[in-house]
Every structure is written in structure tokens, then in C-alpha cells.
Amino acid sequence: MGSKLKVDNVCFSYYGLKGETKTIDNLSFEADEGEFVAIVGPSGCGKTTLLSCLSGLLVPTEGTITINGKHISEADVRIGYMHQKDLLFDWRDNYKNIALSIEISPFDKEERTENIKKLLETYDLKDFKHSYPSALSGGMRQRVALIRTLICKPDFLLLDEPFSALDFQTRLEVSDDIYRIIRKEKKTAILITHDIEEAISMADKILVLSKRPTHVIETIRIKLSVEDRTPFTARDAPEFSEYFHHIYKELKDGEIG
């Protein structure tokens, strides 16, 4: 399986009246096709800036980001971005919220329309396609938001703390839903999260970042001995607490060092 995403010695700085503020410093990693990567790090270390670079919204000061060898230099249809908030328009029904991706993209509209119908049925939203977002639970709204992201068939997904606004029980349920959808659609995913348990339960590997200017302290492969792994069942794995304590220590050391 070839590398799908490659981040090579990326640096990023903001410039203002007080000069340069370096946010990312020689950060490198790869994500293989179909891999789920979680990124954790101290608050304010530059995780969202990194996600903006991966999406093409920001251009690195130094270094390169490529998908299948092609450089990302601007917003790219190969990249789907799921934000902290679902960003659904309250005045559009769920079908029209999802169809927004079709309206603003150059893709074949008939093909995408059929894909909307298929995804709504597959993920138990068929009966709610003409409901408005206000009629949905937080979990259902996130499913609608993810389907909207998938309509343009991106090569990989960026998930910017998509469960942070939900209560704990809903968060567990929705993370299971989103995980199942991403695995079924065989997408490469990059998850930004402050929640160590969430990262362990969902990811194939975790990147632990340092304080700003951020770089990768450690890359941790997650192997859990559970059958039919989901974010919920993963928490019962005997290795789970060991990963948690290791990552927590790395983060604390990274804040100090």
C-alpha cells in the first residue's frame, strides 16, 4: 500500500508588527491509504494551523505537503474538511444542506444526486432528508455534515475536533457512527483532538506534538486486542490504559521541554 499523504519538513510562521511567530517547525509524517491518524498536542501548539496547511488554506513557509506525489498549494477537492461545528444552514433542509457540495463543485450533478440518496439510505437518514437541522439530534447533525463532506468523494478527510461540542454519551455514540462511516467508505482520515482516549479509540496511529513551535515528539502505532473494534469497544482493550498513560506523559513532557 503506497503512501497517500506525505508531510515533509513543514514549517509555518505568522508575521505581525512584532515580527515572526514560528508555529510549526520541521514537522514530518505520512498517512497511508485508508489509515486513520490522530494528532494530539498541548493547547495552542499549532494543531489547527497544521490542519489549515493540510487543507491548502495556508501555504507552509517551508517544506512540502503532497497527496500521491502531487503538491497541495491551495484548497483542493481531494480534501474533505469536517469542522468542530456542523455548519449546517438552518434554512435549508438536510438534503439541500448535503447538496450544497454539488452546487459549488464542478462535478457531475446527476451522479452526485444519486450518491446523496445512497448515503442517506445507508446511514439511516433517508426519513429525515426533508427535515431541517433543528429537528435533528447533535449526532444526526454530524452525520449529515459528514455525508456533505463525502459527496465530492475526497481522497482524505480532515476532522477538526468534530465531537467537542457534544456531551460525553452523545460523543461516544457519534464517534462510533463517524468511525463506522469512514471505515466503510475506506477514507484516509486525520483527526485533531484534545481527548487522548478518543485518539486511542479511533486511530491506527497517533502523532504526539510538542509545544509551539510544534514538531512530532513521537509516532505511536495503536494495536488493540479486541474483536470488531469500534471507538466504544476499544476502551475495553487491556492495552488501552497503557497507551493513555504513555501519551499523557509525552504531552506533559512536551509542554515542559
Q: pLDDT tens digits, the chain, 257 residues: what are they?
A: 455 899 999 999 998 888 888 999 999 999 998 999 999 999 888 898 999 999 888 999 999 999 888 888 666 667 888 877 778 888 998 888 888 777 766 566 666 777 788 888 877 788 888 888 888 887 788 888 888 888 877 888 899 888 777 778 778 887 888 888 888 888 899 999 989 999 999 999 999 999 999 999 999 999 999 888 888 899 999 999 999 999 999 988 766 44
Element (H, E) at 200: helix 196-202
Strand 3-16 to 62-67 pairing: antiparallel
- Edge-to-edge strand list for the sheet holding 205-209: 79-82, 156-160, 188-192, 36-40, 205-209, 216-221
Terminal-to-terminal C-alpha distance of the chain: 36
Q: Confirm if 219 and 31 have CB atoms less than 8 A apart.
A: no
Give the integer Cα–Cα distance in Å for 26 and 63. Answer: 8
> Which amino acid belongs to residue 113?
T
CA 231 – CA 126 distance, rounded (Å): 25
Output the pTM of the full model: 0.86
3-state secondary structure of 229: coil
Residue 222: how many CA atoms within 13 Å on its side-chain side?
32
The residue assigned the cell 454539488 is 102
